[in-house]
Structure 1
Amino acid sequence: MIRLFLPPLTEERRKELVKKCQGEGEHSKIAIRNIRRDAIEHIKKLQKNGLSEDAAKDAEADMQQITDKFTAQVEKHLDAKEKEIMSV
């Protein structure tokens, strides 16, 4: 049996971990926005090939709603993780 004794996290280390989490959260949100951008570019190409303007606008609005939904989920998980890290 191997036992490892880990000292409790200091407040300074907790703050470093929170910063890392925030950075990863920001990377996730950027990835989500990049996917939205690619999808909107694809919709615009389809519009040039005959997709109606109304259908294109609806698809762009749907993409924005999906983007907002997943961005909110990232924020929710990030807030929960920050609280977990900062709790003593």
Structure 2
Amino acid sequence: MTLPERVEIDAAGDVALTAEQAAALLGVALPDFLADLRAGHVYSVVERGEGADAGRLRLTLHRRATQRRLLVEAGTGRVLGPG
């Protein structure tokens, strides 16, 4: 599993990974990731931290039976580590 250094966070606070980042995070080849994405086998969940975790996001990326999590600094998109 390869962790990206940063992820994009848009003006609404939504997290976006490139297809290349997502495929690397899941440990699959890009064409396989894209095929599964088109087939609806890939989805993500973003949780916003509260209390002691305020200012952090946890991104969970699912592909078939595999899931990977990232802990992200909400303001900068800097990846803090696996979540």
Q: TM-score range by the shorter chain?
A: under 0.3
TM-score after normalising by structure 2: 0.24
Choose between structure 1 and 2: higher strand proportion: 2
TM-score by length of 1: 0.23
* Structure with larger Rg: 1
